[in-house]
Amino acid sequence: MSKKLEQKQARRLAEEKRRAEERKAALRRNILTIGTAIVVAVIVVAAIAWQKETGGGASGNVGVSPEEANCGDIETFEEQEAAHIEVGAPHEPYNSSPPTSGPHYEIPGPSEFIVEAQPPETFVHNLEHGEIVIWYSPDADQETLDNIQDITRQEPAATAAVPYTDIESPYQFALTAWGASQHCEKVSQKVVDDFRRRYQGKGPEKIAPLFEG
């Protein structure tokens, strides 16, 4: 065999080897990609299941019966103008306590359970988005606070809970939506679900999701 032919054959063999290695590398990448996708899917499914088990879904059974919750009737109020104001700027008084509509700051508050006092003007913006805001007394008992925290986690895109000093005894918190409120002594899943079903996602700016429970 001539030297030229040998070189040509060597180049062909080297090219075949390179292509084979590329195919193996591509196969390894595909296997890794598929494996990663499976792991992510398992994690997501497990997270959803855990969320539901721990009160993180749209269903649950937190608190007591509606009768034991000792809730007042739902009150509705004339809707005040949803004007944006600067932080700290004066404005007309709210026509309900806690507020259910009216002037508010441009940046809404986080949709979560909050332990530090916040300006009401922040969370009136959440109400405008169709969120449910739970204003709770700082003196509420620990069981009620724990239940409110669980309730807040059930609808993380549509519920905020914040301290509010002017909750009148014997009530410990108030459920509020744009233009409506309901005061309760204890947490009842059914009361909360009924309130959400009636008001969640139905503010002037329908940003929060509707309640599907």
Instruction: Split the chain (213 residues) into runs of 10 and give each run's mean pLDDT.
Output: 66 74 65 38 33 48 98 98 97 98 98 97 98 98 98 98 97 98 98 98 97 92
Q: What is the DSSP string of 4-30?
A: HHHHHHHHHHHHHHHHHHHHHHHHHHH
pLDDT value at position 58?
Answer: 43
Domain boundaries, the chain: 1-53, 66-199
Buried b (16+ CB within 10 A) or exposed e, 109-125: bebebbeeebebbbbbb
The stretches of 114-201 forming alpha helices (DSSP H) are 120-128, 142-154, 189-199
Place of tokens 């969370």: 123
Q: For 24-52, give the secondary structure using H, E and C.
A: HHHHHHHHHHHHHHHHHHHHHHHHHHHHH
pLDDT at 197 (0 to 100): 98
Residue 19: its pLDDT value, please?
A: 76
pLDDT at 60: 80
